[in-house]
Chains A and B, each alone.
Chain A
Amino acid sequence: MNFEYFFRLFFSGLTRGSIYALLALGYTMVYGIIKLINFAHGEIYMIGAFTALIVAGALSLTGMPALAILVLASVVALVYSSMYGYTVEKIAYKPLRQAPRLSALIVAIGMSMFLQNYLLLAQTSNFLPFPDLLPEFSLPESWGGMVNGPQFLIFVTTAIIMVALTLLIKFTRMGKSMRATSQDKVMAALLGINVNRIISYTFIIGSFTAALGGILISSYTGQINYFIGFLAGIKAFVAAVLGGIGSIPGAVLGSIVLGMAESFAAGYISSVYEDVFAFVILVLILIFKPSGLLGKPEVQKV
């Protein structure tokens, strides 16, 4: 058994898992509150990354220092994708609150296609190189070169976001309102919670984390096009379900499990079958735990 190889695969799985987690958090929060699979979530991730690219590209001509560009581009991109998330919810999802759930799902699919093609037409269909925004740094030798700088940054960011979100949900007033809304919208409204505002907050927070994932992964892989959100979105959705949709620690755990499964399948079996392996694990887990790893069993109301 080659331990170094094992750990390399472990960390590459962790990288993937962390990116999935940043996306899955948004899925799971939105689902928890309005029971909607937000198919357009992957597109928010893509728009976040694209906005960062545009801002960084425009700023780099002004000769600004790299760190300032990084900060400015990220801030603008995060703000913008939150705005997109908010707008999408207001236009497309809000009118369908009471409609059959599948209708809302179709709206989400339509929104996803619209946003993809909006970027395609307004920008380009080609792949573009993504500017190297992440600061270069090397990790101490003792890490054995198993993790590189960008990977490390991705883990740390995901961990910080997860802790911050958990604290937010647990202890702030907004978090409590969110939990109340997800349990019972009518009751929450009766208790004076502005349900619409809470739903908007959820979309803003979800879009924020998704865009963060988009920026991180695009600078890590160094390329971007209008289609990167689709597959990542589907994977994150799988991860959210695997962990138990609606549960925040579940989304992170599910993402890490999925990332690991793919990485080890690619490393030890065959990377052609990495998706097959990921889905087989999903099926096995769901057969034994039908509501995901950390999901609460759905109580059926009769």
Chain B
Amino acid sequence: MRKAIVFVVALSLVASFAMASGSGEEAPIKIGVGGAHSGDLASYGLPTVNAAELVVEMVNAEGGVLGRQIELVVEDDQCKPEVATNTAAKLVGEGVVAVIGHICSGATRAALGIYTGEEVIVISPSATNPPLTQSGEFPTFFRTIAPDDAQGQLQAQFVAEELGLTSVAVLHDGGDYGKGLADFAQIALEANYPGVEVVLYEGVTVGAVDYSAIINRVAESGAEGVIWGGYHPEASKLVGQMRSQGMDTLFVSGDGVKDQSFIDVAGADSEGVYATGPRDTSANPMDKAATEAHLAKYGETPGPFFMNGYAGTLAILNAIEAAGGDDDPAAIMAALRSENVDTPLGSISFDERGDAIGVGFAVFQVQNGQYVQLDN
């Protein structure tokens, strides 16, 4: 039995080699795009697909990389870990050299279980969970966004030093992103800013019909500000209900809320809300060009993590070019680390762990229905 298995494995390996070399040098370089493309988190995943498409279109029009065209393989994971492993297996089966994605940290982590062994390079535009890079378990993982602990630290610093609060309530949505972020903010507050007391630490139930009980609790705790870890639908419900109860408690949140749709849904109540998010790069000429290309092709301004996806795609194509081909993942990874590449996020490269150097967060505030970056 064992012999038979070995034989069949060998046979299939030979066959796949024959197919790979048989098709000659003209074969396109395959890049996968994985993430939530359907379901309720699709609005976070689809902008990255658009970004990858725009970059690849541009590069292919200029003759491709090393004379070879780039082919995108787009697969949906719905942000579910168990679906993500299937998505990853499908992409590996398609023979992709690298994947732009995935979007959610949990799904990314599950998918990395497949990619790591196969040495497929993964560049996520949005998976901010710190252990993905810091644990050292996933050597092929890179990201073009700063991790959540940096964001939590920034929120803590902002609350303590800029706003000068002495008591805050930390709320989260119980999800992997939201609770993670809230935990980092709380840890940073307790470790570095003893002057700020966390008077309430609570989770809320996503989709509950109303939040007035928890809002009463915030009022009762006497917190001057709320730090929120979670996405924008719950944030707008919380802010709206706080304002309608006549509470003027400050509201500080993260990149899950730093999205125009928060302002759209929360309306006038969103005024004055703070959110941390990737630094505003709209002054960067590449950012302007990418936005215009998106407007021209899709008829609307790009959605969340578009620039991060765009930068990731540019970085991987650049690294493949520098490594002289797509057959040596180690060389490509070395190139990702050593080569600086100009992207809408600025000139970036990656550190040993896979975090992008030169990418950071800033604090924004809603002013007159727009997020405005605060200089700090």
Contact = CB atoms under 8 A, between A and B. Distances in A.
Interface of A: 2, 5, 8-9, 11-13, 15-16, 19-20, 125-129, 145, 148, 150-151, 217, 220-223, 225, 227-228, 230-232, 235, 262-264, 266-267, 270-272, 274-275
B238 to A, nearest CB: 10
Given A223-B236, A231-B207, A127 B213 contact: no
A221 B241 contact: yes
Contact of A148 (B205, B207, B245): B245
A266 to B, nearest CB: 4
Nearest to A130: B265
21 contacts: A12-B210, A12-B213, A15-B210, A19-B209, A126-B43, A127-B261, A128-B265, A129-B236, A129-B267, A150-B244, A151-B212, A221-B237, A222-B240, A223-B236, A230-B207, A232-B209, A263-B213, A270-B203, A271-B202, A272-B203, A275-B205
Contact of B264 (A129, A274, A275): A129
Interface stretch (B66-74, B133-141, B214-222, B287-295): B214-222
A11 B245 CA distance: 13
Main secondary structure of the interface of A (DSSP, over half): helix
B114 interface: no
Given A125-B40, A148-B244, A227-B40, A221 B210 contact: yes
A145 B174 CA distance: 30
Contacts of B246: 145
A5 B216 contact: yes
B42 interface: yes
B202 A270 contact: yes
A164 B267 CA distance: 36
Nearest to A236: B209
Nearest to B239: A222
Contacts of A128: 265
Contacts of A126: 43, 261
B232 interface: yes
Contacts of B42: 125
A127 B203 CA distance: 21
Interface in B183-220: 202-205, 207-210, 212-214, 216-217, 220
A266 B217 contact: yes
Given A222-B236, A223-B236, A217 B264 contact: no
B218 to A, nearest CB: 10
B233 interface: yes
Given A12-B213, A217-B210, A221-B210, 18 more contacts: A5-B216, A8-B216, A12-B210, A16-B209, A126-B261, A129-B236, A129-B265, A145-B246, A221-B209, A223-B236, A223-B237, A225-B233, A266-B217, A270-B202, A271-B204, A272-B203, A274-B208, A274-B213
B213 A262 contact: yes
A267 B216 contact: yes
Contact of B240 (A221, A264, A270): A221
Contacts of B217: 266-267, 271
Contacts of B232: 127
A262 B213 CA distance: 9
Given A127-B232, A148-B245, A222-B236, A12 B212 contact: yes
Given A127-B236, A129-B265, A225-B233, A274 B209 contact: no
A29 B205 CA distance: 28
Contact of A272 (B202, B244, B245, B261): B202
A5 B220 CA distance: 7
A144 B213 CA distance: 17
Nearest to A273: B203
Interface string B315-350: 000000000000000000000000000000000000
A105 to B, nearest CB: 22
Contacts of B236: 127, 129, 222-223
Nearest to B236: A223
Given A148-B245, A231-B208, A223 B220 contact: no
A127 B263 CA distance: 11
Nearest to B241: A221
Contacts of B207: 227-228, 230-231
B220 A2 contact: yes
A302 to B, nearest CB: 42
A5 B222 CA distance: 12
Contacts of A145: 246
A16 B213 CA distance: 10
A275 to B, nearest CB: 6
A49 to B, nearest CB: 12
Contacts of A11: 212
A271 B240 contact: no
B265 A127 contact: yes
Contacts of B216: 5, 8-9, 12, 267
Nearest to B267: A129
Contacts of B43: 125-126
Contact of A222 (B202, B209, B237, B261): B237
Contacts of B212: 8, 11-12, 15, 151, 263
Interface string B72-101: 000000000000000000000000000000
A220 to B, nearest CB: 7
Contacts of A15: 210, 212
B200 to A, nearest CB: 10
A223 B233 contact: yes
Interface in B240-267: 240-241, 244-246, 261, 264-267
Interface in B3-55: 39-40, 42-43
A228 B234 CA distance: 12
A113 to B, nearest CB: 13
Contacts of A228: 207
A215 to B, nearest CB: 13
B227 to A, nearest CB: 16
Contacts of B240: 221-223
